[in-house]
A and B are shown apart, each in its own frame.
Chain A
Amino acid sequence: KKMENKTSFLPQEGEVRPSRCPDNSAFKQQKLPAWKPQLTIATVLSSFFFTGTFCLSVGVCLILSANSVREIQIDYSDKCSDCSKLRENSSNWNKECHCSVNFTLKEDILGDVFMYYGLQNFYQNHRRYMISRSDAQLLGRNVNIQKSYCTPFTTYRNGTPMAPCGAIANSMFNDSIDLFYNLNSSVIQVPLLKTGNSWWTDKNVKFRNPKSYNLSSAFAGTARPPYWQKPVYLLDEEDERNNGYVNDDFIIWMRVSAFATFRNLYRRVRRIRQFADGLPAGNYSFHISYNFPVTKFKGRKHVILSTVVWSGGSNPFLGIAYVVSGTAATLTGFVITAVHLKLRKKKTYFQK
C-alpha cells in the first residue's frame, strides 16, 4: 500500500494549478466598444452634396479673387539680345551691359505691387544642384566646407574656399532691374524695397554672417564664387543688415524652386508719393543690368509685376480645379441617387 502514492502519474485532483482561463476583458475577447461606420445612402449622398457645394463655393471665391489680381509679365531674354550674346562668352564677365524694356499700364495697379524675376528652364530642382550647398557655412560657422556637398564649387585650385560655396550660390541671379515711370517726359524711378522680401526664419535663423568686427574681415581668406562679380560682403554695400549671407536676394535665391520654371520676389514697390496707392497707369520702363546668361541652357528671363490677394498671386488653377471637382461631386451625387433608386438589387440576399 505504501507504493500507491509513488506511482501516480496523472495530475492529482487536489493539485493547485494557476488558472489558465483567459481574462474576460473586452480587449482580450475582442469586444471593445466600437463605432462601426457604414456607407449608407444618406451619409454618402450628404457627403457628396456637401462636398460639391463646398468646392463650388470655394472655387467661385478663388476665381473671383484671382481675377482681381493685376499682373504684368515681360520676357526680356530676347529684348536684350546684344547683352545675351555678350554673356554667352564667359570671358566678358566683367563687361557691363544694360538694356531697357518699355511697357504701358492701361489702368492703375492698386495695392501692394511686387516685382519678380522669372526664370524658365532653370533646373533649380535638380538633385545635384540642390545638394550643392553648405547650410553650416551659410549659418556663419567656421565649418570645413571641404567635406560639404558643395562640389564642384567648393574651393579654387589654390585651396581658397568659396564663400558661399556650392552650385546654387554660384549660379545666383545677378541681373539688377530698376523700374522707371515715364510721366510727361520726365522719368521717375519707382521706389523699390529690397528688404523684407524673405521669410523671417530665413533671414534671422537660417542665414547668419560669420562674426567679426566687420564683414569683409569676416570673409577674409575666402573668395567669391567664380560666377560672381563681387564678393559676398559687397552684395549690398548700403545696408549692413542686407549684406553678406543675409542679403535678401541671396536668401531668396538659395530657397530653391521646386520646378524649372519659377519666379522669385525681387523688389516691392514702396508705397510713397504718387505710388502710395500702387502703380498709376502710364508708361514705364525697366532698366536692366544684364549679367545672368540664360541662352546657353535655352532659358528665358522675365520680369513680372503683380499684386496679391488672400490666396496669393494670379493663380487660376486652384479656382478652376475647385469648381470642376465641386461640379463632379455634385453630379456624382445625382448619379448615385439615380443608380440607387433604379438599379440597386432588392435586398433579397437573405430571403434565399
Chain B
Amino acid sequence: MTVPREMPEKWPRVRAPGGAEEERRVRANAREYNEKFQYASNCIKTSKYNIVTFLPVNLFEQFQEVANTYFLFLLILQLIPQISSLSWFTTIVPLVLVLTITAVKDATDDYFRHKSDNQVNNRQSQVLIGGVLRQEQWMNVRVGDIIKLENNQFVAADLLLLSSSEPHGLCYIETAELDGETNMKVRQAIPVTSELSDTSKLARFDGEVICEPPNNKLDKFGGTLYWKENKYPLSNQNMLLRGCVLRNTEWCFGLVIFAGPDTKLMQNSGRTKFKRTSIDRLMNTLVLWIFGFLVCMGVILAIGNAIWEHEVGVCFQIYLPWDEGVHSAFFSGFLSFWSYIIILNTVVPISLYVSVEVIRLGHSYFINWDKKMYCAKRRTPAEARTTTLNEELGQVEYIFSDKTGTLTQNIMVFSKCSVNGHSYGDVQDVLGHKAELGERPEPVDFSFNPLADPRFQFWDPSLLEAVKLGDPHVHEFFRLLSLCHTVMSEEKSEGELYYKAQSPDEGALVTAARNFGFVFRSRTPKTITVHELGRAITYQLLAILDFNNIRKRMSVIVRSPEGKIRLYCKGADTILLERLHPVNQDLTNVTTDHLNEYAGEGLRTLVLAYKDLEEGYYEDWSERLHRASSAAEAREDRLARLYDEVEHDMMLLGATAIEDKLQQGVPETIAILTLANIKIWVLTGDKQGEALLGWGSGLAGDEDIHGLDPICLGAVGQTLPPSAEPGSAHGFLSPETAVNIGYSCKMLTDDMTEVFVVTGHTVLEVREELRKAREKMMDASRSMGNGFSYQEKLSSSKLTSVLEAIAGEYALVINGHSLAHALEADMEVEFLETACACKAVICCRVTPLQKAQVVELVKKYKKAVTLAIGDGANDVSMIKTAHIGVGISGQEGIQAVLASDYSFSQFKFLQRLLLVHGRWSYLRMCKFLCYFFYKNFAFTMVHFWFGFFCGFSAQTVYDQYFITLYNIVYTSLPVLAMGVFDQDVPEQRSMEYPKLYEPGQLNLLFNKREFFICIAQGIYTSVLMFFIPYGVFADATRDDGAQLADYQSFAVTVATSLVIVVSVQIGLDTGFWTAINHFFIWGSLAAYFAILFAMHSDSLFQMFPNQFRFVGNAQNTLAQPTVWLTIALTTVVCIMPVVAFRFLKLDLKPELSDTVRYTQLVRKKQKTQHRCMRRVGRVGSRRSGYAFSHQEGFGELIMSGKNMRLSSLALSTFTARPSAGWIETLRKKKGSDGSTAGSPSGAADKTLKV
C-alpha cells in the first residue's frame, strides 16, 4: 500500500446552509452525533407510488400526456349542450379504457419495484449496537454504525474497512455488481484499526471520519480518520462499497460512511429516463399537426357556418329558430367551431395510443417467446423488459458494445505456440496438412499426465510428441511457463489442482504447461515447486520482476536444484524482441513470422525468453536491488533501471498465442450487422479498475511514436512506445488487446484502408491526432478520384458531409485518457466526425461515465438510433443513455440487465433481435400507423364534406354508435392483427439479406412524407365516400318509389361502404394472412353487420326510443340494389387506384423486400449464391498484441507472503475454510458450462487484484 500523503483540509468544515453536503463527518458508534447531520438512511426507494398516492399521482401523470388531456378537454366540450354534436359516451368510453389500462400497467410495475426494494431493504446485516452484534435489516443501518460482514455477503453500504479475519486487515472483494469486473480485488484496513478484531474493542472505537461528500466516483475516496488525537489518511483502498461481495474472507468489520442513496452504487445508478422511440416523437409531432389541421377545418367550417347562418339560416328561422342565447351568425359560427372540433376529433382517436401499446406488447411477447433467442446453457430466454421500444429495434444505426463478457467470454485459451522456430497448434489432418476448420480431429490425449487439466484441449499432437521426445527447447519453453507467473495454486486433494490467476491469460499459459507435463504445483514466497514430467523439482524463487504497463513484461529469477540461476521472461513481442541477444537473429525472424500469423488470427501473443545469470553477477545485482527497494526516493525509477539492466541479451525461446474466446457467433453477428449498415463501436473498460488515466506520463511530444500513425496491420507494436520514461508508473495502457478483439470479431479487417490509433495525453495531442486522421481520410478520398463529389460537398462547408463521402474503410482506436479530452465540449464534434467516418470504432480503457458520454455524443449530433449492449454494472450508464439498452443476462451481475430494455444471454442474439424482431416491429408499426391515419381520415373527413351540405351545422354523417364503435370494434382488430403478425419476408431472409434492415435506419416506411401520402389517401377516400353516395342519392328513389335520400339511409350507406373499403384496404395491406387475420378481418365485417342490425332492431328501439332512432333502417336500406351498387362503386373507385399505384411502384421501383418476396415466389434457386458473405479467415498480417492484462504489484504480494494463506502454505487450513465452497462451486459451474460456454465467473477469470 502506498503511503498516503497528508490529507489537506479540502472540504470546508461546515455544511452549506440548505445547500449540498460539502463534507461528511461520521463518528463511529455515535448515532446521536451523526443524526445531527441528517444523512440519508440505508433505505432505498425506487418505487413511485403507495396505495394512497397511486390514484391521484398516477392520474396526474397520465394527464400530463398531451393526448389524455386533449381527450379530457373534448369530454368537457361534449358536456356543453349548445355545442355537443356527439354524445358524451363517444369520448368517455375510450378515455376511461385507456386510463384504466395504463393505470393497471403502472400499478403492476410499481408493485414489482416495491417488492425488489423490500427485498433489498430487508436483507439482514449484523450491526454493532451497544457492544453487541445485532441482526438488523439493511434499511435500519445508519451512517456511523459498525457492521460485520461475513464471507459471500453483499456489502450493505459504503464502509470503511476496520478489520478483517485475514492478516494485515486484508479482505477480498468482488466488484462485479459495481463495475463489471469479475476479478477479485484486495482491500486493506489501515493498520491502527486492523487490530480491532473483537466486538468489545470495536464498541470502544470512537474515531471520526471526515471525508468527501457523496459522489459517484467509484475509484476515488478521500478522507481522514481522526482517532486518539492522530490523523490517518484514508483512500479508496480502505473502502468497501455497496454492491461488492466479500470473498475469501471469513469476516470483516466496517464503519458505515455512506448509506442508501448516498452510496457510490446508488449515486452511479443515474436517473432512469423515460425512453421514447423516434416513432413516438414523430407521432407526437404528427398529432400536433393534425390538431392544427383540425383547428383549420374547424375554422373553415365555423366561417362557413357564420356565413350560412347570415345568408340562409336567418331566412330559415321560421322553421328553425336560433338557439336561445345565439343572437348573431358570428356567435353561431363560434359555437359550431367547437362542435366541429368534437366531431372531427376522430382524426386522432385515443385508440391510436392504446393500439400502439398493444402492438408493442405483442412484439415484446414474441421476443420473450423466441426459442431461437433462448440460451439452453444458461436457461435464459430473451426478455423484453421495456415494452415500448420495439419498433426502434428496427432502426438502430449505432451499436455500442462492451467487450468483456459481451463479445468475449473472458476465457483465455492456449491455442498456438512457436518453439525454437517451429510453430505448433495448427489443426492437422492425418496427412499432416493444415486441416480446414470444422473437420477437427480428436484432441490431443493427455492421459499420460495424471495432473492434467481435463478441460484443456489442444489439437496438434506434434507438440506433445516433442515433449515426449525430450526436445530441450520445448522443455525449457514449458518450464518457463510453469515458473514465470504469479498464479496461485491450490490443491484440495492429491492431484486436484486449481489455479488462481490474476489474469486469465496467465491461467491459460500455466494450464498449458501443466498439461504438457510441467505442472506448477505449489509455491511459497521463496520457492516454486514444479512437477516436470512426473518429477517434483523445487526451484528457489530469487526475484519476481513484476509486470507493469511500461515494462510490458515480467520475469522471474530462479535457482534450479542444480544451482544454476536463470531469468525467465515473458512479455510483449515489441519489447522483448529488442532485448534479445544478437545470436537470436535467425530465430527471431522465424518467430516473428509466426507472431504475425498468430496476430492475424486475432490471437494474443507473448514472447518468451530466458537468460542464464552468473552467480557473481546475480549477487551484485541482488544487492543493488535490495538497496534500491529500500531507497526512500525514486525507488520506482531505480528498480525499473535495475530490471531493465538484467533483462537484456536474453535468449529467445518462442512465443505463445492465446485465444481470447469470443462468445458464440460473435464474428458472424458483427459481420451481418455491419452488412446491415449498423456501425459498431466497442467501448471497453478492460481491466481498468483504478484511476489509471495517465495524465502527463511523459509521452507528450512523442508524436512520431504514438501519434496517429496508421497501424499498417501489424505495426501496432511499433506505433506504441517501446518504453516510457521510468517513473511514469501509470502510463500507457494497451489498446492492443482491444485491437485484437476487433480483428477476431471481424470488426477490423484486412480490407480496411487504415486503422487510426489515438493515444494522446493532452488536449493538443488528441486534437492533432484527430485532425491528422481526418486529413488522411480526405486525402485518400480525394486521390481516389472522388474529387468531384468532394468538391461539391466542400462547398457546403460542412465537415461532416465531407467525411460522409469518404471512400475506403477506416477504423479508429482511441484510448480512455484521449477520450476524456476528445469528449470535452470543444472537441467532441471533431471526435464524432472522425469517428463516424470510420467503419469501426474501438474505445479502450473507458470509464462507465465515458461510455455514457460517447453514447450521448452520438445521440446529440447524429439523429440516429443508438443501442448499447453490455453485461456489467459498468455498462449501466451506457445502457441507460442509449435509445435502447441491452443487457447480457444469465451472468452473476444483473445490474446491466436491470437497467436494460432488452436482455438475453448471448451477443449473437442481437442479430435476431434487430434483424428479425426489430425489423418486423418497425415494419408492422409503420404499416399500422399508415393504415390507422388513413382509416381515420377517411372516416372523419366525410363530416367535413357533409358540412357544406348541412348548413355547417356540425351534423354527423354517421349514427353516433357507429362513431363510437368504428375505432373500437369495426376497424381496430384487423389492423391490430396486421400490426402484430405481419411479415413481409420470412425471418431467414432477414438474416440472409441484411440490407433489408436499411429502410428502418433511413426511416423510410413511416415519415412525414409517408404520413402525407396516407392522409391524402384518406382524404381521397373520404371525398369519394361522400360524393358518390351524394350523387346517387340526390333525387333518387327506392325501387318501391319511396324516397331514398333520407338521412338515415344515407348514413347507413356511407358507413357500410366505409367499413367495406377500409376492410378491403387492410386486406390489401396485410401481407401475411394468418388464421387470426382472417378471423379478425371477416369477423369485423360480420360484427359490423351484426351490430348494425342489432342497433336497428325493433326491440332496442322499444326500450330506448330516443337513443336508437335508426330502427328498421338496416333492413330497409340494405335491401336496395342501388345501395349495394353504390357501395360496390365506392369500393372499386377507392381501392383500384391504390392497387394500380402499388403495383406500378413494385414493378418500377421495387424495394429489396419486394424483390425478396418476388424471388421467393418464383422460387429462383439462388439462395446459396447470394447468402450473406461469410468472410474467410484473415491470413498473414503483421499485428501484435500482448497477452498481459496484468496489474502490477502482485509479484510483490507473493514475495512478501502476505496472501500466502491462499497458497499452498496454508492449504491444509484452506480446504476447511468456507471459501473452498466457492472454488468448488466455480469449478462445478465451469465444468457444466463446458469449454465454449464461457462465463466470466469461471474459475479461470477469477483474478486477484491488489
Residues of A within 8 A of B (CB): 1, 3-10, 12-13, 17, 19-24, 28-30, 32-41, 44, 47-48, 51, 55, 58, 62, 90, 112, 114, 116, 121-130, 132, 134-136, 138-139, 141, 148, 151-152, 167, 170-171, 197-202, 205-206, 252, 255-265, 268, 293, 296-298, 306, 308-315, 317-318, 321-322, 325, 328-329, 332, 336, 339-340, 343-345, 347, 349-350
B779 partner residues in chain A, CB cutoff 8 A: none
- A39–B1142 CB distance below 8 A: yes
A39 partner residues in chain B, CB cutoff 8 A: 1139, 1142-1143, 1146
In B1111-1137, the 8 Å CB interface with A consists of 1111-1113, 1115-1116, 1120-1122, 1125-1126, 1129, 1132-1133, 1136
Task: Tell me if B1076 counts as interface (CB < 8 A to partner A).
Answer: yes
Residue total for B at the interface (Cβ-Cβ under 8 A): 119
A21 partner residues in chain B, CB cutoff 8 A: 371, 374, 376, 379, 381
- Tell me the interface secondary structure of chain A in the complex: loop
Name B1155's contact: one of A256, A257, A328, A347 (CB within 8 Å).
Answer: A347
Distance A9 CA – B1073 CA, assembled complex (angstroms): 50
- A36–B1073 CB distance below 8 A: yes
B1115 partner residues in chain A, CB cutoff 8 A: 201
Distance A134 CA – B1107 CA, assembled complex (angstroms): 10
- B1155–A350 CB distance below 8 A: yes
- A259–B987 CB distance below 8 A: no
A343 partner residues in chain B, CB cutoff 8 A: 1148
Distance A139 CA – B1107 CA, assembled complex (angstroms): 13
Name A340's contact: one of B1050, B1147, B1241 (CB within 8 Å).
Answer: B1147
- B1042–A265 CB distance below 8 A: yes
Name A205's contact: one of B892, B1098, B1142 (CB within 8 Å).
Answer: B1098
Q: Write out, one digit per residue, whether chain B residues 339-368 have a CB within 8 A of any chain A CB (1) or not (0).
A: 100000000000000000000000001101
- A167–B320 CB distance below 8 A: yes
Distance A23 CA – B320 CA, assembled complex (angstroms): 66
Distance A297 CA – B311 CA, assembled complex (angstroms): 10
Distance A37 CA – B1034 CA, assembled complex (angstroms): 39
- A126–B953 CB distance below 8 A: yes
A44 partner residues in chain B, CB cutoff 8 A: 1139-1140, 1143
A48 partner residues in chain B, CB cutoff 8 A: 1136, 1139-1140
B1218 partner residues in chain A, CB cutoff 8 A: 3-4, 6-7
Task: Tell me if B19 counts as interface (CB < 8 A to partner A).
Answer: no
Distance A175 CA – B1094 CA, assembled complex (angstroms): 37
- A349–B1142 CB distance below 8 A: no
Q: List 25 A-B contacts (CB under 8 A).
A: A3-B1217, A7-B1222, A10-B892, A10-B1226, A10-B1228, A22-B381, A44-B1143, A116-B1037, A126-B955, A128-B320, A135-B1101, A135-B1105, A197-B1041, A257-B1047, A259-B1034, A260-B951, A293-B318, A297-B316, A297-B318, A315-B1122, A317-B1036, A325-B1132, A332-B1136, A345-B1149, A347-B1150
- A35–B1073 CB distance below 8 A: yes
- B955–A114 CB distance below 8 A: no
Stretch at the interface among B640-648, B729-737, B1157-1165: B1157-1165
B374 partner residues in chain A, CB cutoff 8 A: 20-22
B1166 partner residues in chain A, CB cutoff 8 A: 350
CB closest chain-A residue, reference B1038: A312
- B955–A130 CB distance below 8 A: yes
B1116 partner residues in chain A, CB cutoff 8 A: 199, 201
A312 partner residues in chain B, CB cutoff 8 A: 1036-1039, 1044, 1120, 1122
A347 partner residues in chain B, CB cutoff 8 A: 1150, 1155, 1158-1159
Distance A344 CA – B949 CA, assembled complex (angstroms): 45
Task: Tell me if B312 counts as interface (CB < 8 A to partner A).
Answer: yes
A3 partner residues in chain B, CB cutoff 8 A: 1216-1218, 1221
Among B366, B1047, B1116, find the residue whose CB has the most chain A CB atoms closer than 10 A: B1047
- B1037–A127 CB distance below 8 A: no
Residues of B within 8 A of A (CB): 85, 151-152, 312, 315-316, 318-321, 323-324, 339, 365-366, 368-372, 374, 376, 379-381, 892, 920, 949-951, 953-955, 981, 983, 987, 1028, 1030-1051, 1071-1077, 1098, 1101-1102, 1105-1106, 1109, 1111-1113, 1115-1116, 1120-1122, 1125-1126, 1129, 1132-1133, 1136, 1139-1140, 1142-1144, 1146-1150, 1152, 1155, 1157-1159, 1161, 1164, 1166, 1170, 1216-1222, 1224-1226, 1228-1229, 1232, 1241
Given A126-B950, A313-B1036, the answer on whether A10 and B1225 have CB atoms closer than 8 Å is yes
Distance A265 CA – B1152 CA, assembled complex (angstroms): 60
- A51–B1155 CB distance below 8 A: no
- A199–B1112 CB distance below 8 A: yes
CB closest chain-A residue, reference B1229: A10
Among B1044, B1147, B1166, find the residue whose CB has the most chain A CB atoms closer than 10 A: B1147
- A28–B369 CB distance below 8 A: yes
- A29–B1039 CB distance below 8 A: no
- B1028–A170 CB distance below 8 A: no
Distance A311 CA – B152 CA, assembled complex (angstroms): 88
Distance A252 CA – B1046 CA, assembled complex (angstroms): 9
- A125–B955 CB distance below 8 A: yes
Given A21-B371, A315-B1032, the answer on whether A13 and B1232 have CB atoms closer than 8 Å is yes
Distance A50 CA – B79 CA, assembled complex (angstroms): 51
Closest-CB distance, A178 to chain B (whole angstroms): 19
Among B365, B1038, B1142, B1149, find the residue whose CB has the most chain A CB atoms closer than 10 A: B1038
